A = this chain, B = another copy of it.
């Protein structure tokens, strides 16, 4: 293992293979579009989705090699969504470097994201699997992409928590998480299963694993700004955008009147981002929501991995279990 994810994953060179394929894809031409695409995909990420896709292929008894083009594609999809997200959220930093929009400007970032998005389907179509299978993967990614967009729209429509409606706000939150994050994790795993020659039942089992892991990932992602020591993604982005994230909604539901008031004031839009985050931190930590939120993410992981033992490729299934653990316990 090359250290991209964590030393708890078995040592192998899959991360390196994915990274090399990502950069190679945009090295052919020296033009500006290629340069931007390379800039976007070469930033050090965790590569969770492509690693899951390859492990899913192996878990059903297939080879990782046949899944590599689709692994490259799923990372493209993820990166394209980040490039556009950073425009929407006004985030200038991504993965420890200037975001594409900060580095190249908004107009170029819109176009670069679009190009990555188109190119992911070119990458998938280069798979060596039977056309019928590759076409099913195209469909998985296309539908997951639409779901991801739907999740973003649902997120933008979320209303701040108010007295008496914490329950429906939590429901809204999970609707967002399932679309925005769960759908692509699910598609990655289903694609891997299909490319690895798995049955419809195995694809469904792995899709469920991906879905729950994705939701756990999102739950943990929303916890990150409230953990004591961490690095990476700017803390204030969600707070600056007044998003009622999971720990915040939990604090509103489980906290005292003071915590509830803190949440409502923080998300009213009257404070600056740093003050907003400080007030939310007070509510999340003080109400005990942090602990409940963390446990919730772990519960999801348990649900995700529950049936992995039914798959023929035990080593790959173990790797999937390890990825799920990391999804809900990481520092960036």
Per-position 1/0 for A143-155, Cβ under 8 A of B:
1111011101110
Contact A142 B157 (CB under 8 A): no
Flag whether A122 is at the interface (Cβ < 8 A): yes
- Closest B residue to A133 by CB, please name it: B131
CA distance A150 to B32 in the complex (A): 8
- In the complex, A106 Cα to B90 Cα: how many Å? 12
Given contacts A33-B153, A121-B138, A131-B132, contact A145 B110 (CB under 8 A): no
Residues of B within 8 A of A201 (CB): none
- B122 near A146 with CB under 8 A, answer yes
Given contacts A125-B142, A135-B131, contact A33 B150 (CB under 8 A): yes
A87 interface residue per 8 A CB criterion: yes
Task: Check if A111 sits within 8 Å of B88, measured CB to CB.
Answer: yes
Which of A115, A122, A141, A153 has the most CB atoms of chain B within a 10 A radius of its CB? Answer: A153
Q: Does any Cβ of B come within 8 Å of A92's Cβ? A: no
Q: Could you tell me the distance between the alpha carbons of A113 and B119 in the complex, rounded to whole angstroms?
A: 16
Compute how far the CA of A117 lies from the CA of B77 in the bound complex, rounded to whole angstroms.
12
Q: Which residue of B lies closest to A36 (CB)?
A: B153
| Pick from B81, B87, B135: contact of A135, CB under 8 Å | B135
**Distance (whole angstroms) from the CB of A81 to the closest CB of chain B:** 8
Q: Is the interface of A mostly helix, strand, loop or mixed?
A: helix
With A107-B88, A125-B142, A142-B125 in contact, is A118–B149 under 8 Å at CB? Answer: yes
Does A8 reach chain B (CB closer than 8 Å)?
A: no
The answer, yes or no, to whether A108 is at the interface (CB within 8 Å) is yes
- Whose C-beta in chain B lies nearest to the C-beta of A32? B153
Size of the A side of the interface (Cβ < 8 Å), in residues, is 49
Determine whether the beta carbon of B135 is less than 8 Å from that of A121.
no
The docked-state distance in angstroms from the alpha carbon of A110 to that of B143 is 17
User: In the bound complex, do residue A150 and residue B114 qualify as a contact, i.e. CB atoms below 8 Å apart?
Assistant: no
CB contact list, A72-130 vs B, under 8 A: 80-81, 84, 87-88, 106-108, 110-115, 117-122, 124-126, 130
Docked Cα-Cα span, A118 to B141, in Å, equals: 8
Contact B149 A115 (CB under 8 A): yes
Interface status of A139 (Cβ within 8 A of chain B):
yes
User: With A and B bound together, what is the CA distance between A135 and B152 in angstroms?
Assistant: 29
Smallest CB separation, A85 vs chain B (Å) = 9
9 A-B interface contacts by CB (under 8 A): A32-B154, A111-B152, A114-B117, A117-B145, A121-B138, A121-B139, A121-B142, A125-B138, A135-B138
Taking Cβ atoms with an 8 Å cutoff, the residues of A that contact B are 31-33, 36, 80-81, 84, 87-88, 106-108, 110-115, 117-122, 124-126, 130-132, 134-136, 138-139, 141-146, 148-150, 152-154, 156-157
Q: Give 13 A-B pairs besides A87-B110, A113-B114, A120-B142 with Cβ atoms closer than 8 angstroms.
A: A32-B157, A80-B114, A81-B114, A108-B153, A111-B149, A115-B146, A115-B150, A117-B117, A119-B146, A122-B139, A131-B135, A135-B135, A138-B138
